[in-house]
Structure 1
């Protein structure tokens, strides 16, 4: 299963429920897996409220599953999906998780900066169940809606350079040309 859209919590949990006896692995980069001795250290639920550059309020919930690799690998330890499900069950006794919340997996180690990633593909092969992770991304929601990106008080759109920025760039270009013609720069001469 390959998802281009973020997966919700219920769909993620259902994928796990279908594979309880398999060993749960996470691939965070091509050929790079979270060490088998990882722990699920916490599951966070984060309500997000934002206003985008088009002036539209947005809200959603994220469910973040945090993975941690111990500094000394525990070679005898590989988490089965059923163990992950028991941790989820324990969490949900205290914190009811929004079934429509967007799932993210948070992970990092000495070779990979900590970040939140989306489950993008699930591979059940033999005795293993692998969750491939994809990088989070940014977007302009206004443009995605087919709208303008909002305007500033001066009437310019927020995602385009302001006329002041364009004027400053032109002034720098002129100053660079003046400096190039004279091949010298003196304090207060305006070339730097």
Structure 2
């Protein structure tokens, strides 16, 4: 994975360092998970894939699922210490790999459910704010310099000026 993603150990360490802070999640500019959210489950997901270049890839994700109840239940989000109690309960049942990539799964009536990465975690007054960034599709083969039938970015200039496109040339 080319971007530096937060791992499970770093995420937990941030919570442990700020147990009395109010845990808030910002999923877009000016958009916050409602204060009455619940952590409904924590998933440990080993992923094995083969990309379009035929290379096998493997990594592990820890996915924290947040749910907003349809009716407001609280004006104040949970403290980090409550989230840590949930984490401890989960970790008493399953081993969560400390270097696993963390994703937060969330959606509501105006935001389609998706998995997002914690971009950073900051303390702001009494709040511990987890800023989320969307996940994006990537081509691991292109990241390694393979083309998998798609032109390399520097060859696009050549293709754009070519007079003809030949079968198997990768420009059609």
Q: Who is 2:147 aligned against?
A: 149
What does residue 134 of structure 2 align with?
Answer: 135
Task: Summarize deviations over 1:62-96 as a string: whole Å, max 9, x none.
Answer: 10000000011112552000000000000000011
2:5 counterpart residue number? 6
Change (3 A) 1:162 1:71: farther
Deviations, residues 147-188 of structure 1 (Å, cap 9, x unaligned): x234xxxxxx2x359948x9xx8xxxxxxxxxxxxxxxxxxx
Pair member with larger Rg: 1
Give runs of aligned pairs for residues 65-104 of structure 1, distance below 5 A. Answer: 65-104=64-103
So what's the TM-score if we normalise by structure 2?
A: 0.84
Runs of 4+ off more than 6 Å: none
Structure 2 match to 1:38? 37
In structure 2, the gaps of 5 or more residues are: 152-164
RMSD of aligned alpha carbons: 2.1
Rate the CA distance shift 1:19–1:162 in 2: closer, same or farther, 3 A: farther
Structure 2 equivalent of residue 110 of structure 1: 109
More deviation, 77-86/33-42 = 77-86
Q: CA separation in 2, counterparts of 1:11 and 1:162? A: 51
For this pair of structures, how many residues does the alignment match? Answer: 156
Greater share of helix residues, 1 or 2? 1
Give the gaps of 5 or more residues in structure 1: 151-156, 170-192
Structure-2 separation of matches of 1:62 and 1:162: 43
Counterpart Cα distance in 1 of 2:26 and 2:47: 27
Structure 2 vs 1, CA of residues 126 and 95 (structure 1 numbering), >3 Å: closer, same or farther? same
Q: Could you say if the C-alpha distance between residues 69 and 55 of structure 1 is closer, same or farther in structure 2, counting changes exceeding 3 Å?
A: same
* Structure 1 residue matching 2:136: 3-state secondary structure: coil
Please identify, of 69-78 and 119-128, the stretch whose mean Cα deviation from structure 2 is larger: 69-78
- 8 Å Cα contact 1:51-1:58 kept in structure 2: yes
How far, CA to CA, are the matches of 2:57 and 2:123 in structure 1?
A: 35
Aligned equivalents of 2:147, 2:59: Cα separation in 1: 20
